[in-house]
Structure 1
Amino acid sequence: MPFRRMKLRQFSMRILVALLVGGGLLLLGGVAITWQTVSEIEQDAESRLQRAQLMFDRTMSHARQAATNVAGMLDRPCADAAQLLREQVTTVPDVRSVSLATGHRVYCTSLYGEYDGPFNPDNYVDGQLQLLSGNAVTPDRPLIVLRQDTDKGSVLIGIDGYYLRNTLDISSKNSLIALVVGKKAMFGSGQVGEAPSPAEEGYIALSSASFPYQVATRVTEHDYLSYAWRHSVGSIILYPLLSLLVGLGTFWLMGRSHSPAEELKRALVAEEFIPYLQPVVAGDDEQWHGCEVLMRWQHPRQGMIPPDRFISLAEDSGLIVPMTSLLMAQVSTHFAPYVHQLPAGFHFGFNICASHCKDLSLVADCRDFINAFRKKPIQLVLELTERELIVADEVTDRLFAELRQLGVKIAIDDFGTGHSSLTYLQQFQIDALKIDQSFVGMIGTDALSSHIVENVIDLAIRLELQLVAEGVENQVQADYLRARHVDYLQGYLYGRPIPMKQFCKTLFG
């Protein structure tokens, strides 16, 4: 049904926009937290790498100074150079050993004095540095050897891994830092192993400008999450709550109305439009033979709103179509269980206007209404109102033809007051005329009105149309109309419009 589709569309749109707004805010918060976390953790990592590099450069500069101090001894016997070598170990910070080499042989060391051991310059990265996990004296204690090459040979300065490990340990606050020399790396644990691959996710490295080494770290996903939880836990909790509140607020605001038409849409979705039924009695016995279904607006704050305050706007906006669909669904749902208690041929009348004639959705609503009473058929009557002209075209021709096939009766409401009443008689196959209450109200007091009523009655007889008199409020009017064999009477004399439950209670006794 149109109103149900509209309700579903509006509710879906509210949900969608609320999700987009709330989700957008949540995404924005996530991006902000992620950007802040990534930015801060990378800045922290780079800062720690810079501090570590500064300390390593200082340590290696000490080694280079020691090498410079003894480089002049390369053409001297070991006996002459040994004392100076030992002095470097004693006086220069971070230096563990000093050795002299010529060609591919080490011939003098600070530890042994004269010595004869192999030496391969190719093992040094850029001919300057070699990272070892240990040596013959301390096999489990790593060291770095700095080589300073001269035209007379090489000076080899051993840097104790203890100092390097301390630097790594101090710098590895949030993520581990490694000292990378060629394909080997020393870690904060003091172990020497394979250097981490630069292709690893989160790999960050800083190269020394003075020596051929890098300090590197790897920031893992766990590091990011841990850092975010430690430093942004408030935002992590706040953004989802704020997104939820904003999403709910958006959903609520979209349900509010910012114009009369939007208020009608809101009320339609909330099913605030309810049917009031006014009895229609047979002219021969004045027994209830049908009813006209009238629309009322049960506003949650303003109470019951009469139709003259919203029907025109509903027709202008086209909302009258789903509103009528809602009314028909409510009536059929309520009365279907009582179908066997309804008087034979009981008819329900609904007002329709030009907006209903722009498509065929009315046919589907009428079919559903009639099918709800298939166990004991009723008569469905559509009353054409004249606030807006119904134009005869292919759509309206097909509409009325299909309604006719369903057995729906067509009546002209308030006949005699609109500019198009006679036109409708010519263009559409009409079954009944409803005499406007303004004429009925003047019966017995105004001769002109009485003549108009009589002329309408005469017209209906000639055209073989049924007649319904509206606005019957006293017995004089009723007697006048019954004496002229008007088929049906409707007015306060027989009952005011009342809610469905009250109508059923009265009808079924």
Structure 2
Amino acid sequence: MVPHSYAGRSLVEFLITLLIGLAPVACGLLVLALQVERKQDETIEVTAREAIYAIDHVMSTLHAASSQALALAQESCDTALPELRQTAIRQPNVRSLMLVKENRVFCSTLYGDYQRVIDPGSFLDMRLRVDPSGEATPDAGVLIYRLQEYPYGVLALANLQVLQRELLGFQNEVVLNLQFGPQYVWATGNGTFEQTPNHEEDTLQLVSKQYRYTVHAGYPDTYTRRSIQQAVTATLPSLLLVGIMTSAVAYWAMFRRKRAPAPRPR
């Protein structure tokens, strides 16, 4: 019975030592996963806020050009057109300007005397609209900024590439989508939500306080798992070394206690 008892006790000591050694490894992996997820959340939020700052700046340039042209809406197209074209040329983000009276376009820097009825309700917050294709650029979408002081108004048109260049400037894995009502714009295209790039994980939505469009930010599906796997691959050897050292110390402490002489009776 003594050999069996000794073997059983040794097995228990081995299992206890193994569990003690695995504890820092398991805790380290858990902390590592939490740190990866927290870092991703922070990156998404920072990127989304920086995107709003950059896109708001583009909108501000369209607003500035529209404000300068607004007084021209009170004149005839022939009189206003030279100055209207100069205003458009001075702002690189502006592709064209249109003058509006009573929700009817009557003058355009591209076409001169031009007649077109607009629907204010088709604009996000009565100010912004994305058209997947423009009359002058059927293969490229345009962003339309509307400034209205009824009965006069101005439409400022910008190519969507202006927004896409801003989105391409973010050098990280965050996928950004801009929403203008039912239309979306991302770094390489535009369309409906069903067409947007994969941003299924950790999706964050922020709304521009000034212009009311929405920024959707997120990571592609499985990105978190791949990030954790990469972090584990880089860190696991160090954690295993800590676990082995912890097991060795625990085993030495138990072995020392077992070999310690029993106290002599008084």
**TM-score of the aligned structures, taking structure 1 as reference length:** 0.46
User: How far does residue 186 in structure 1 lie from its aligned partner after superposition?
Assistant: 0.8
Give 5+ residue unaligned stretches, structure 2: none
Corresponding residue for 1:4? 4
| Structure 1 residues not aligned, in runs of 5+ | 265-308, 317-509
* Amino acid aligned to 1:224: T
SS in 1 for 2:81: helix
Q: Is 1:207 the equivalent of 2:207?
A: yes
In 2 relative to 1, CA 34–64 (structure 1 residues): closer, same or farther, beyond 3 Å?
A: same
Deviations 1:429-470 (A, max 9, x none): xxxxxxxxxxxxxxxxxxxxxxxxxxxxxxxxxxxxxxxxxx
Q: Could you tell me the TM-score, scaled by structure 2's length?
A: 0.83
Rounded Cα–Cα distance in structure 2 between residues aligned with 1:231 and 1:54? 31
* Aligned 8 A contact 2:106 2:116 in 1: yes
**Does the CA contact (< 8 Å) of 1:177 and 1:187 recur in 2?**
yes
| C-alpha RMSD of the superposition | 3.2
Distance 1:263 1:119, change over 3 A: same
Aligned AA for 1:210?
Q
Would you say the 8 A contact 1:175–1:217 is kept in 2?
Answer: yes
Aligned to 2:46: 47
Between the two proteins, the alignment pairs up a number of residues equal to: 263
Q: Give 2:37's aligned residue.
A: 38
Query: 1:50-69 counterparts in 2 under 5 A?
Result: 50-69=49-68
With CA pairs under 8 Å and 6+ residues apart, which has the higher RCO, 1 or 2?
A: 2
Tell me by how many angstroms 1:33 deviates. Answer: 1.9
Amino acid at match of 1:72: A
Distance between the aligned counterparts of 2:216 and 2:74, measured in 1? 39
| Cα distance in structure 2, aligned partners of 1:110 and 1:5 | 97
SS in structure 1 opposite 2:173?
Answer: coil
Q: Aligned letter for 2:83? A: L
Deviation of 1:177 after TM superposition, in Å, equals 1.6
In 2: Cα distance, 1:184 partner to 1:19 partner: 57
Distance 1:69 1:236 in 2: 61
* 1:282-307 C-alpha deviation (Å, 9 max, x unpaired): xxxxxxxxxxxxxxxxxxxxxxxxxx
Distance 1:49 1:12, change over 3 A: same
Aligned to 2:188: 189
Question: For residue 239 of structure 2, what is the amino acid of its counterpart?
Answer: Y
1:170 counterpart = 2:166: no
1:132 aligns to 2:131 (yes or no): yes
Shift of 1:240: 3.2
Provide Cα deviations, 1:134-165, integer angstroms capped at 9, x if missing partner: 21221221221111121213321112212211
Task: Provide the C-alpha distance between the structure 1 equivalents of 2:49 and 2:100, rounded to a whole number of angstroms.
Answer: 33
Mapped partners of 1:6, 1:120: distance in 2: 90
Question: In the superposition, relative to structure 1, how do residues 231 and 192 fare at CA in structure 2: closer, same or farther (>3 Å)?
Answer: same
Aligned CA distance change for structure 1 residues 19 and 217 (closer, same or farther; 3 Å): farther
| Structure number, greater radius of gyration | 1
> How much has 1:46 moved relative to structure 2?
2.9
What letter matches 2:66 in structure 1? A
Q: CA separation in 1, counterparts of 2:232 and 2:93? A: 41
Q: Is the 8 A contact 1:21 1:246 kept in 2?
A: no
Percent identical: 19
- Superposed, 1:437-452 pairs within 5 Å as none
Which residue does 1:224 correspond to in 2? 224
1:311-330 pair list within 5 angstroms: none
Structure-2 separation of matches of 1:46 and 1:206: 9
Letter paired with 2:142: L
Contact 2:72–2:80 (Cα < 8 Å) also in 1:
yes
Provide the C-alpha distance between the structure 1 equivalents of 2:247 and 2:221, rounded to a whole number of angstroms.
32
Distance 2:61 2:4 in 1: 84
Q: Secondary structure at the match of 2:192?
A: strand
What does residue 112 of structure 2 align with?
Answer: 113
Distance 1:201 1:173, change over 3 A: closer
| Residues 325-344 of structure 1: pairs in structure 2 closer than 5 A | none
What amino acid is aligned across from residue 107 of structure 1 in structure 2? F
Distance 1:201 1:73 in 2: 48
Partner Cα distance (2:112, 2:13) in 1 = 88
Counterpart of 1:11, as a letter, is L
Question: 1:239 maps to which residue?
Answer: 239
Partner SS for 1:235: helix
**1:382-437 deviations in whole A, cap 9, x for unaligned?**
xxxxxxxxxxxxxxxxxxxxxxxxxxxxxxxxxxxxxxxxxxxxxxxxxxxxxxxx
Deviations 1:337-387 (A, max 9, x none): xxxxxxxxxxxxxxxxxxxxxxxxxxxxxxxxxxxxxxxxxxxxxxxxxxx
Question: Alpha-carbon deviation of 1:6?
Answer: 6.7
